[in-house]
Amino acid sequence: MIRLSVRDPEFAARFDTLVNARREADANVSFDVLAILSRVRAEGDTALRDYTQAFDGHDLEASGWRIDTAECRAALEGLAPDLRRALELAAERITAYHEKQRPADRDEVDATGVRIGARWRPVEAAGLYVPGGRAAYPSSLLMNAIPAKVAGVERLAMVTPTPRGEVNPLVLAAAALVGIEEIWRVGGAQAIGALAYGTRRIAPVDVIVGPGNAWVAEAKRQLYGVVGIDMVAGPSEILVVADADNDPDWIAADLLSQAEHDPTSQSILFTDDAAFADAVAAAVDRQIATLATGATARASWDANGAIILVERLIDAAPLIDRLAPEHLELAVTDPEPLFAAVRHAGSIFLGRHTPEAIGDYLGGPNHVLPTGRRARFSSGLSVLDFMKRTSFLGCSAPSLEKLGPAAVALAEAEGLPAHARSVALRLGQ
Amino acid sequence: MIRLSVRDPEFAARFDTLVNARREADANVSFDVLAILSRVRAEGDTALRDYTQAFDGHDLEASGWRIDTAECRAALEGLAPDLRRALELAAERITAYHEKQRPADRDEVDATGVRIGARWRPVEAAGLYVPGGRAAYPSSLLMNAIPAKVAGVERLAMVTPTPRGEVNPLVLAAAALVGIEEIWRVGGAQAIGALAYGTRRIAPVDVIVGPGNAWVAEAKRQLYGVVGIDMVAGPSEILVVADADNDPDWIAADLLSQAEHDPTSQSILFTDDAAFADAVAAAVDRQIATLATGATARASWDANGAIILVERLIDAAPLIDRLAPEHLELAVTDPEPLFAAVRHAGSIFLGRHTPEAIGDYLGGPNHVLPTGRRARFSSGLSVLDFMKRTSFLGCSAPSLEKLGPAAVALAEAEGLPAHARSVALRLGQ
């Protein structure tokens, strides 16, 4: 953890270093991924079977290519009642929030008499990657699948590795709750390749979403354009702005809720009170000792944690914008001034009673958010990621009379005579 | 040009071949681009100067790094009056259409008492690539720059190569009309690298848009995630559905308006009348002979053109969806049934009096559209490409009491104890 103060003579340089630090491993996986994708494209299911044997240690012909929906329903039935209710509440709230994201169509006639508009339609098929092992979260399945369902996507194909055949019952329960019926026991770059190119067994999809390791992320990046993808995801981040009126333990827990994800995660506190900063730092150390995820949290906090002292909390706004954090928590009595002043953040949590974890599970907004300063230009996952817009235009003969001559002039100036002719002929020229 | 009929016994296979034909050159440029981007990142302006000397044949220190806005204003003043009026009409119509794309913010309190919403903000800076030479179109500059302006982007940085120092006055005039004040005389992958990473002279941007050659496209693809980009663009396409009541010459001109762009462009006619198909094919041959762009159009039509005979025009809908064309023209008296039946197209042109070229210049909707079957999952350029959404959530103590226990249950089930603690502490647990 580093501590900075805007009063430090070298604050600007040290803050620059923090902003520009790259926490993403420079995993040199692009050649491996290229080879895997080429082989999946050429050999299809044979390649999937071989890679699954090699990486996940089971034979798909023996263990079964798909996970049966009956197995998912059984997992849902087998959940403890409070957990099932929690999952259902999450699904309801996420659905309600995303339903209001459905875009409106436009269909107008303008003053020139031209019919003009745009309409949105869902993609036909979406692929959903769900990691195996530690990072397999049912909440993540809900956050990725529900926007696709709300968009109206007809086919949702889930892929997930089952190392040595193991599955995660919580994830299967979430799949049953959302109504996913097509689940393939394949993972890694090979699963992404299968979804993008299609194989004999697995029909291709139009959009691929969902978190994964470096191979999965690189496969999505390489296939961007062949299919739509959600985004390039990096390690998660939280930035908490807190005054001295907070309980240091609450704020420490908030910082640790990101730190416990991964050693590359980042937690940053902005405060205007040095004693409060000390108290939070002490609380972090105290809490880590009692966390089952303490080793990960410790590694993250030591390597990437930061506490930054500012004169007044509002002064943090331009610094926050440079960091463009994935999650921004405004733990103050009146968050409005900072809320209005900050421009770049993936999601903002307002006030002392909105820990970021509420948003991870069941606030409603999506928890798939831009990381690594990408909130400067990108947004969280939404219904729009599963839809596309078709614009349209309809001229009558009279409205074409009005617009046509300008189009002819521009086409001729650009040296495109067939463009000009296609209009001129209709003008009787 | 190939001719197919749904009555051909091998129609399905031949149509599959047409759908899956890749017209994009497999330009093996990724290593070149990787090297150029690395050098621009490391050496900045020195690399730009060297590459510009090597590729464009002029020394930026001698010829000037920037094109002066006075030069742009002079180009605008120097336009023929009808051309200037045409450019202004185009800019007005494009602006009016895109202004209605501005997304609405949301800010509500739900039944649980949780404040929940999302707000949109523009990115701070956008980079606009404008090709030099043949493909430098003022219409393209308007289509790329106006959505950024409408979004509220404060800084628009244009880059354009000026081979041997040459500039295109029409493009400069369009830049003056839109109000672009920062124009750099650099092009190629090196210009994209400069916009993404920034150099001493050129500040970095958040989003890069605009057409370019294979190097430019690959540079954007490689930098996707470092910055936002518009899309992966391929050769342009038109698909015309026409009945026998059309003038074959009008339809031939429409097909040629895409064919004249590039030998890799594609023009496809669907019709239900064999004699009309013959008449259009003859008109295409006749018109090519008189076009200044005839050689290009000939190459495109011969290699990639197609005429497909269907029983009834409505039967074309599922075939159109498989092709997911960039431009779809419905040259029939009542386009509504096909308009309703087709799902995948970048932009649709309704009726006999809406040649696609109107949309290229001044219909209003954007002419930057998905190609290569990408209309299955992506949309034309819009104001949204220059904005990003921040979701937000605000719980009061009472609303956290309602949601908190479910979040704790889910966090514990996922093995994330700090997530659970950040909520539990606030519940007094």
pLDDT in tens, A102-156: 999 999 999 999 999 999 999 999 999 999 865 678 999 999 999 999 999 999 9
Burial of residue A56 (number of CB atoms within 10 Å: 0-12, 13-18, 19+): buried
- Residue A21: the pLDDT is 86
Burial group, residue B53, by CB count within 10 angstroms (0-12, 13-18, 19+): middle
Instruction: Give me the pLDDT at residue A134, please.
Output: 55
**What is the least distance, in Å, from the CA of A61 to any CA of chain B?**
30
Distances (CA, A) of B262 to A421, B21, B284, B294, B299: 17, 16, 16, 11, 8
Amino acid identity for residue B72 in this structure: C
Q: Which residue has tokens 């350029």?
A: B381
B317 Cβ contact partners less than 8 Å away, ≥ 6 residues apart: B338, B341, B342
Angle at B201 between CA B197 and CA B205, to 5 degrees: 40
Please give the pLDDT value at position B30.
84
Cα A69–A71–A72 angle (5° rounding)?
65
Catalytic residues of A: 326-327
Specify whether the CB–CB gap between B246 and B335 falls below 8 A.
no
Domains and CATH numbers, chain A: 30-104+122-229 (3.40.50.1980), 234-376 (3.40.50.1980), 395-427 (no CATH)
Q: Are B411 and A138 in contact (CB under 8 A)?
A: no
pLDDT on residue B213: 87
Measured between alpha carbons, how far is residue A4 from residues A267, A281, A310, A373 in Å? 14, 13, 9, 20
Q: How far is CA A270 from CA A6, A288, A306, A373, in A?
A: 11, 20, 8, 17
Write the residue in A227, A253, A393 that is nearest to B349 by C-beta: A393
Of chain B residues 44-103, which have a CB less than 8 A from chain A?
Answer: 82-83, 85-87, 89-90, 96-97, 100
Divide the 429 residues of chain B into consecutive groups of 10 and give the mean pLDDT of each group: 95 94 73 94 98 96 95 96 97 98 97 97 97 80 98 98 89 96 97 98 97 90 92 89 98 97 95 98 97 97 97 97 98 98 98 97 96 96 98 98 97 96 96
- Of the candidates A325, A370, A259, the one whose C-alpha atom is nearest the C-alpha of residue A1 is A259
Name the residue with tokens 């029409």.
Answer: B170
Residue A236, annotated as binding a ligand: yes
Cβ–Cβ < 8 Å for B381, B144? yes
Number of residues written out for chain A: 429
Query: Which pLDDT value is given to residue B191?
Result: 98
Q: Give the distance from CA B244 to its chain's centroid.
A: 33
B350, B356, B403 member nearest A358 (Cβ): B403
What residues in chain A have per-residue pLDDT under 50?
A: none
Nearest to A363 among B114, B224, B287 (CB): B114
What pLDDT, in 10s, does the model give residues B70-87?
A: 999 999 999 999 999 999
The reply to whether B39 touches chain A by the CB within 8 Å rule is: no
Torsion B15-A124-A106-B363 (CA) sign: negative
Report whether A58 belongs to an annotated binding site.
no
Angle at A220 between CA B43 and CA A96, to 5 degrees: 120
- Looking at residue B348, what is its pLDDT? 98
| pLDDT value, residue A429 | 87
Confirm or deny that A168 is annotated as ligand binding.
no
CA atoms within 13 A of residue A22's CA, in its CB half-sphere: 5
| A340 reaches B (C-beta below 8 A) | no
Q: Is B136 in contact with B87 (CB distance < 8 Å)?
A: no
Please report the pLDDT score of residue A213 as a whole number: 87
| Neighbour-count burial of B400, counting CB atoms closer than 10 A to its CB (0-12 exposed, 13-18 middle, 19+ buried) | buried
Size of interface A-B (CB pairs under 8 A): 358
Angstrom distance (rounded) from CA A381 to CA A143:
8
